[in-house]
Every structure is written in C-alpha cells, then in structure tokens.
Chains A and B, each alone.
Chain A
C-alpha cells in the first residue's frame, strides 16, 4: 500500500474544501457539488486540456488555469464562475458552433448532445461570429457506425478512448489548425480499417453527433460514456 497522499485545504467559490494532493481542482470541485463546465474531459481518459471551458481564476495568478489538469494546493483560492469566465466560455462555444456545420434540428444527437447542453447551460443565445460553413464529408463505410465531420469538435475523446482503453489506436488527427480532421488509420474509409475492433467506445464517448450508431436516432441515440468509470473501478480493484 502506498502511503495516503497529503490532504490540502483550499477555497473554491468561497467554500472551504479539502482534497488529496493528487486531485485536480476539477475533482475537488465536483466532490463538493460545484459544477465546472467541461467538454474534452471525460472520467477515465487522460486529460487533453484542450477545450478551455474549465478555466478558473486562482488568486495570486494572473493566468487562468485549466481545472482539469491543475492540482490543488494548500490555501488556494479558486473562483469557478465570474463574469469574465462566463463570457469566455460562451465565446468558446460560439467559436465551436461557427467552426463547422452544427445544425441541431437535423442532427442525430439533437437533445443528446453535450455541446448543446452546455450552450443551454451557459446561455449561448446567438453566434456573433461568421459561420465558416466548411465542406466536410460523412463517412458511412463502417457497417455499424458513421462519422460526420460536420459535427466534430476535435475534442479527441475518441482518439484517447481508442488508444488508451481499447488499445487499437484507430483514430488520430490529420492536418492542423482549423483544417484538423479526425482520421481512421492512414486516412482511409472507416469500413476498410484493419485496426478497428468495432467496439463502439468512440461512439459512446463522442459528445456530439459526430460519431453515431447507424439506425439510431432521438432517444435511442443517447450516448453512454459511463462504462469508462466501471472499467476504471474494475482496474482499481485488480490493482
């Protein structure tokens, strides 16, 4: 048995909170029912720190820190909600909506979409940025699943689950900047992949309608990423 890690006490939104030294601000906040919005984070996967929605203010630091990767420290004073943070979070979602072709009304994930939920939660009522309307394809070559690049927000949850949990590393990212694109193996149709085990984990962790199961819409298209926590508990138990 490893010795128990040291305990730190800190202040999150004015509430005194205690946490283990190896916990992140996000962990500590959730344990105390303080909600910090996240999008690329998913319990059971490594952190990407990419969506920047979980940025929080920490007293004494001019920079905003991502709650998902910042470890708690003794005496830290964390603010998870401020007008500045809310404004940035709304803008991040606006940028996402304007980046690709997110049309909720005709999306398989309508009402089952984490991005949509966040937009509601954060009060995104309009997108002020010009829509980019990129020309993107839909890959339906896999017998059970489809990939709609129009809905992809490049959170890389699928890449991480496929690499870290399934061990297949079928998914990866091609190109850079706004031209980044999720690819299968060597940028080939999903149906022709030699590495894909058709396990469907990528579909379950996808927060939007980018990855979806064929012939399932509406309530049937709800994603269930919770399997990851069970997997993790099992792993912990085996350890």
Chain B
C-alpha cells in the first residue's frame, strides 16, 4: 500500500457516494438495532428497489441520540429523522418534503448536537463501520502511512506526550509517558493491548466506538505498536458485546487484506498483527493485570503492582495497555497535530471525552464534549434536563468506582482533577443522572452489590469487606440498622479502600463514601426514623402501612 493507492481507494469510495442523488444512513449500532433498525434498513432497501428512486441506503454507526432511535440521516438535505419505523420507509424514500417525514425530523440545531465536539466520534454515524474504504475515504489510515515512512517512533511518542492525552479508561495516566516507558523497556517481544472490557453499569462508550468506527481503534493500536516497538496486539472485548466483536474482527481482516496489518506493513520494516480475545464475563478483567492473566489463559485475577505491565506484562514482556477511547484519539491527534488537540480542554485535562449519558435525563445517548465543560451544561443543555418535571438530585460518574455528585457542584468543570476532588472519578465515561425518585442509600447498596458479586475473591478486604458493607447497607435500607452499624460501615470503607489489592477493591467504597458525604441525612433518616424520602426502600413502605 502506497499513499497513491490509498488516495485511489478514498477517491473511489467518495465517487461511489456521489452515484446516487440521495443517501439514507440508518444507524446500525446496538442502541438502534435493539429498536429493530435492521428491519427498517431492509424496508428502506426494498422501497428503493421497488420505486427505483435515485437513492442509496447505508448502515452506519451510532448517531448519539439513542433515546430517539431508530435514527435515519438523509443527505444531501442533512435531515435527521427519529423514531423511524418500517412503515415510514415509503414516505422517507419518496416524499422527504411530505408531512410524515417533516413530523419525524429531529432538529440538528438543538444543544444536544451543537454543544458537542467530536474527535473520537467524528466518523460515528457517518461511515459504514463494516467497510474499510469508507474509513479511508475520511482521510484515515493516511496518518499511519505517513508516520511509518516519515516519523521515528520517538517522534510519535513526543507528539502523543505533547497532545496532553491521558488514559481514557479512568485513571488518567499520561498516555505519552506510558508509551515512552514501554518503548524504553527492553524485551524480546512487546505487546499492545486494547482494553475493551467495558463493564461499568450504564456505560456504553467503548461499545459504540467499536461498533461505529472500529478501524479508528485499530489504527491507533497499529500506531502504538510502531511507537513502542511491539509486534503483536490483542484487543480484549467482553463477550457481552457480540456486535463489537464481529465488527472489530471484520476490521482486522479488511486491514490485513489492505496490508495495514501483517508482515512489513506498507513496505516498511514494521510488522504487527492484532488478535481478538473475548472475555468471560468478569468485571475485574478490566483491571490490567487481571486482563493480562485472562489473555494468558489463566483465571482473571489481579496481581500486586509493581512490576507494572509496561515493565513486565503479557507473558512477562513489556506491554502497553490502553483503553478503546485512548487508542481512538490517536489517529486524529497525529493527523491534526498535537497542539490542535492540546488546545481543547482544560489545563491538565486535554481533548474531549465521550460520555454515555443515561438515567433520568431527557436525551439519553452517546455524547462527546471538550474537557472542562460543566456538569450543568452536559445534563441540562446537552441532556435536555430532567423529564417529567422532577428535580435533579445527583449524577453518578465513574460507575462502581465513582461517586454521586449533588446539585451544588453542577457548575464544576468535568476533568480528572475536579471530579476526584468531589469524591468521584472521571472513570471510563458512564454518567447516570438521578432525580428525586432515587434513594441514595439504595444507590450505594446497588453499586456495593455489584462490587461484591464482581470481586474476584483473591484479597480478603475486597472479598469479605464488600460482602459486609453490602450487608450493613441492606440493614440500613430495610430499616434494621443502628448508628453503630453506620460507624462500622464507615470504618470498613476506609479499611477496604486502603488495603485492597487492586483498583476494584480500592474504589469499591467510593459510592458509599460519596453518598455519605453529600446525603448523610438520608442515611440517618433510614436508621433513626425508618424513613426513605424517595419511597424506594422497604423501611419507608412499612412506615406507610403503619400510618
């Protein structure tokens, strides 16, 4: 593959788009598919064939506004249709100006679209994720070709460092630093691993990226492989994401066919190949050392660090592990230059972040915003606020490792540091909005139940501590707890977070600690008055019966 050949593929793909006067793009990512967008696409295809309209129907990735799916984008008029069903097919194909179509139009002018900055999601919803030509048509893979022929690995690492990119998996470790460490470590073989074991409840960022634009992640991995001197890559995807597995596997095959993977990539000395590894349903395998154990074919349990995977990882070799979104940032950073990326965001958190906005918010979906946007802007402008006239209560970020942030901090910017200060974490990007119908003790109990059942059982504080914390929280929610139980709970939170072996245990108490910090009165009400103000817990119901 040469630059000229690549440009030819891109031109052919662009020309193909011009063949028809109109184009209908149907979302074929998991959100809309669960609302039968596949039957919709078939209906549209048949309608086009039947009517002979000068129109092409294409399956594309996620368009973001999942709650209004299935979504269809019509070009060149740039109209977005929501809640489209097969019955609308004829109207959309034949009468885009008609009343039926007009009713389905979803304004592009609304804050949900206007306030976003798309870097990772720039191709999402625009290209067919199952066709490599469409990705190439967006000028992608060109960055890889240029890098392989013109830049040294060290220059690439410096570019990544300059961009200020930090790990999108949650901890926010500087990506350039990690790459540099792996590059400098000596090893017979080196590995690149993409962590796609996204397991936080309510999080679907990585799944959407893999389903909508798999080549972007793959290109990021290949560039990383070149930069750190690795010859082999693995992507660890959870088995619960069959579509992501299917599309990424297809992407690997297509990339191999075009010579972006394999021996002597694009006639350079660099050889690299990627393999898919499917998880077995354990949340803890998102922890890097457990993930490595799982790839090696062992029981997915974490081990003490150091040594860090950068020094001794997969099969004791230097290993680079990054999250899906981190790799997805790489092609754009290198194509548009590091300072362009570094200009987005805040002083310490650069670039954009993809969030899965869910819960009690009007616009549920996938969003990408510049770092430093406030929670209020995300929830009330992009998210459209709380439905059914209810009051905002808290937003949960970072999944079971994160915390709940109450209303008084809604104007805090979203970046790694400020979220940590609030007792939560950035995490991988789950954002669950809760209204006044949520009981914060019950929320804490829910996340503790999750941690308890996902603890691997290796270290005592996490294995037994989460079970005891869950028991104590259950006592509080069913109205049988005493203030001593609360004291014991707080003592356990401190002990489990200070002594657990891996991140799962260390952060398991976070949902409890953060709700205790901001909603302590709810805990006290449950204990002293046997009263749940949200009416969720059993203790509240018993009280109603008595009254």
User: Does A129 sit within 8 A of B, measured CB to CB?
Assistant: yes
Query: Given A130-B471, A176-B282: A50 and B464 within 8 A (CB)?
Result: no
Which B residues are CB-close (under 8 A) to A165?
Answer: none
A52→B461 contact, CB < 8 A: yes
User: Does B299 sit within 8 A of A, measured CB to CB?
Assistant: yes
Interface residues of A in 169-228 (CB under 8 A from B): 172-173, 175-180
Which A residues are CB-close (under 8 A) to B251?
Answer: none
Which A residues are CB-close (under 8 A) to B303?
Answer: 49
Bound CA span A99–B500, Å: 16
Q: Closest residue of chain A to B502, judged by CB?
A: A49
The proximity string for B residues 458-469 relative to A, scoring 1 for CB distances below 8 Å and 0 otherwise, is: 111101111110
B461→A130 contact, CB < 8 A: no
A173→B457 contact, CB < 8 A: yes
User: Does A17 sit within 8 A of B, measured CB to CB?
Assistant: no
The proximity string for A residues 92-124 relative to B, scoring 1 for CB distances below 8 Å and 0 otherwise, is: 100110110000000000000000000000000
User: Does B492 sit within 8 A of A, measured CB to CB?
Assistant: yes
User: Does B455 sit within 8 A of A, measured CB to CB?
Assistant: yes
Which A residues are CB-close (under 8 A) to B465?
Answer: 95
A48→B458 contact, CB < 8 A: yes
User: Does B438 sit within 8 A of A, measured CB to CB?
Assistant: no
Q: Closest residue of chain A to B484, judged by CB?
A: A128
Bound CA span A128–B488, Å: 8
A178→B463 contact, CB < 8 A: yes
Query: Given A128-B488, A178-B463, A180-B463: A64 and B457 within 8 A (CB)?
Result: no
Which B residues are CB-close (under 8 A) to A175?
Answer: 457
Q: Closest residue of chain B to A64, judged by CB?
A: B498
Bound CA span A132–B470, Å: 12
User: Does B98 sit within 8 A of A, measured CB to CB?
Assistant: no
Which B residues are CB-close (under 8 A) to A179?
Answer: 457
The proximity string for B residues 475-518 relative to A, scoring 1 for CB distances below 8 Å and 0 otherwise, is: 00000000000001001100100111100000000000000000
Query: Given A66-B304, A88-B498, A129-B488: A95 and B468 within 8 A (CB)?
Result: yes
Min distance, Cβ A82 to any Cβ of chain B, angstroms: 12
Bound CA span A87–B492, Å: 11
User: Does A25 sit within 8 A of B, measured CB to CB?
Assistant: no
B454→A176 contact, CB < 8 A: yes
User: Does B453 sit within 8 A of A, measured CB to CB?
Assistant: yes
Interface residues of A in 140-166 (CB under 8 A from B): 153-154, 156
Which B residues are CB-close (under 8 A) to A19?
Answer: none
Bound CA span A132–B452, Å: 14
B463→A177 contact, CB < 8 A: yes
User: Does A26 sit within 8 A of B, measured CB to CB?
Assistant: no
User: Does A168 sit within 8 A of B, measured CB to CB?
Assistant: no
Query: Given A91-B491, A99-B464: A176 and B304 within 8 A (CB)?
Result: no
Bound CA span A48–B492, Å: 23
Q: Is chain B's interface secondary structure helix, strand, loop, or mixed overall?
A: helix
Min distance, Cβ A206 to any Cβ of chain B, angstroms: 16
Q: Closest residue of chain B to A156, judged by CB?
A: B458
User: Does B440 sit within 8 A of A, measured CB to CB?
Assistant: no
Which A residues are CB-close (under 8 A) to B500?
Answer: 52
User: Does A55 sit within 8 A of B, measured CB to CB?
Assistant: yes
Min distance, Cβ B137 to any Cβ of chain A, angstroms: 45
Bound CA span A129–B454, Å: 21
Bound CA span A110–B164, Å: 59
User: Does A69 sit within 8 A of B, measured CB to CB?
Assistant: yes
Min distance, Cβ A40 to any Cβ of chain B, angstroms: 9
User: Does B210 sit within 8 A of A, measured CB to CB?
Assistant: no
A51→B495 contact, CB < 8 A: no
Interface residues of A in 18-58 (CB under 8 A from B): 47-52, 55
Bound CA span A156–B468, Å: 22
**Count of chain B residues with a beta carbon within 8 Å of a chain A beta carbon:** 30
User: Does B426 sit within 8 A of A, measured CB to CB?
Assistant: no
A92→B463 contact, CB < 8 A: no
| Other-chain residue from A66, A132, A178 in contact with B457 (beta carbon distance below 8 A) | A178
User: Does B291 sit within 8 A of A, measured CB to CB?
Assistant: no
Bound CA span A63–B506, Å: 10
Min distance, Cβ B473 to any Cβ of chain A, angstroms: 12
| Other-chain residue from B282, B458, B467, B488 in contact with A50 (beta carbon distance below 8 A) | B458
Min distance, Cβ A41 to any Cβ of chain B, angstroms: 12
B467→A178 contact, CB < 8 A: yes
Which B residues are CB-close (under 8 A) to A99?
Answer: 463-464, 467
B460→A50 contact, CB < 8 A: yes
Bound CA span A15–B422, Å: 40
| Other-chain residue from B452, B454, B464, B498 in contact with A95 (beta carbon distance below 8 A) | B464
Q: Closest residue of chain B to A65, judged by CB?
A: B304
Which B residues are CB-close (under 8 A) to A172?
Answer: 299
B457→A92 contact, CB < 8 A: no
Min distance, Cβ B460 to any Cβ of chain A, angstroms: 5
Min distance, Cβ A184 to any Cβ of chain B, angstroms: 16
Interface residues of A in 50-94 (CB under 8 A from B): 50-52, 55, 63-64, 66, 69, 87-88, 91-92
Bound CA span A179–B463, Å: 9
Q: Closest residue of chain B to A55, judged by CB?
A: B499
B499→A154 contact, CB < 8 A: no
User: Does B40 sit within 8 A of A, measured CB to CB?
Assistant: no
Min distance, Cβ B116 to any Cβ of chain A, angstroms: 37
Query: Given A66-B304, A95-B465, A132-B467: A177 and B456 within 8 A (CB)?
Result: yes
Which B residues are CB-close (under 8 A) to A49?
Answer: 303-304, 459, 501
B467→A177 contact, CB < 8 A: yes
Min distance, Cβ A169 to any Cβ of chain B, angstroms: 12
Which A residues are CB-close (under 8 A) to B492?
Answer: 91
Which A residues are CB-close (under 8 A) to B468?
Answer: 95, 98, 129-130
Task: Name which of B299, B458, B461 has the most chain A CB atoms within 10 A of its CB.
Answer: B458
Which A residues are CB-close (under 8 A) to B498?
Answer: 63-64, 88
Nearest 3 A-B pairs (CB), nearest first? A180-B457, A49-B304, A95-B464
| Inter-chain pairs besides A130-B471, A180-B463, 17 sampled, C-beta below 8 Å | A49-B303, A51-B459, A52-B460, A52-B500, A66-B304, A69-B304, A87-B495, A88-B495, A95-B461, A99-B463, A128-B488, A130-B468, A176-B453, A177-B456, A177-B467, A179-B457, A180-B456
A-B contact pairs, 11 of them (CB 8 A): A52-B460, A64-B499, A88-B495, A99-B463, A128-B488, A130-B471, A172-B299, A176-B457, A177-B467, A178-B452, A178-B455
